[in-house]
Amino acid sequence: MGAARVSVATRSAAAGRALLAAMTLAAAPARVGSETPPLDPVSEAIAAGDAHYARRAEGAHGGVAQPFHAEGAIVEYRRALALDSQALDAQLRLMRAYFFRTGFCGEMDPPDKRKMLDEAKAVAEETVRQLEAGLKRGKGRLEAGAARAGGSAAEAYAWAAISWGQWAVFHRVDAAWTGAPARIRDLARAVIALDPSTAQGAGYLILGRLHAEAPRIPFVTGWVSRPEGLATLRRGLALVPENPAFCVFLADALLRLEPSKQSEARALLQRAASITPRPEFPVEDAHYAEEARMRLASLR
């Protein structure tokens, strides 16, 4: 009974506040043009996707998130693109959501993951095609038009490179014969040329990993350079020292390519393992911290 009385009293108070607010608004003079215009359908879908994406860390266990909000964001961004296939904001956000879903929400059934990565790569190619058509830019060639496009061009190339990179990691050696390494290289170089800080230094991270990890196949990926991979990862770490992914991937590259530098690799892993996840990247940073701790445990 006491709880019921509290509930009734709470509802009565809320109703009184609502009535007072309505009376105040009715008494206030109308302000022409002060009303917030309703969102158009595309913007509304993007906003709904953003609301899901902002909640992607809810229920996460360290570096493993629950997929519900990532998948909700994907649904909404797809809806935005169904309404406007050239909505750049929706394309960028969709690639970002695909990356989070496939990389930070635990294991997926291989067919489901393959389908999602294929979709991400398709969005990446369409986004870059549209951007380059507008800039009159040829593949592998940066012109003044791309530089004038600023952040949107750099972000488009960054998320396209990330999408291609995730797809190539999943398909591994087979990806080399599809031209994936050269495509990823060109996109990453474009990001670095336009704005190397984009997406937490994604250009350096992707290009560095590509040189450090891609199989060297004569006449296909003969340009791959292990020293360039290490140097590129170092440049990225210097630019974005708060991104633990650089510590993890640089340490991994050192352990594989320069075993004599195990002490440096260990220090990098300890740095990543002890990081406090940033508020804007709670799951992502926790994921790399966990990877660092696992790698440390495997070292003698």
Full 3-state SS string of 44-90: HHHHHHHHHHHCCCCCCECCECCCHHHHHHHHHHHHHHHHCCCCHHH
Average pLDDT over every residue of 22-33 = 38
Q: Is the pLDDT of residue 14 over 80?
A: no
Distance CA 256, CA 285 (A): 23
pTM above 0.75, yes or no: yes
Find all residues with CB under 8 Å of 145, minimum gap 6, and list them: 135, 136, 137
What does pLDDT average to over the chain?
Answer: 86
Which pLDDT does position 216 carry in this prediction?
Answer: 87
Cα torsion through 148, 154, 156, 157, rounded to 10: 120
Which pLDDT does position 295 carry in this prediction?
Answer: 97
Distance CA 300, CA 296 (A): 8
Which pLDDT does position 28 carry in this prediction?
Answer: 37
Which pLDDT does position 21 carry in this prediction?
Answer: 38
Q: Is the pLDDT of residue 135 over 90?
A: no
Please tell me the least confidently modeled range out of 25-39, 73-87, 149-163, 262-276: 25-39
Q: Is the pLDDT of residue 9 over 70?
A: no
Which pLDDT does position 137 carry in this prediction?
Answer: 52
Residue 277 near residue 57 (C-beta atoms within 8 A): no
Neighbour tally for 95: CB within 10 Å: 27
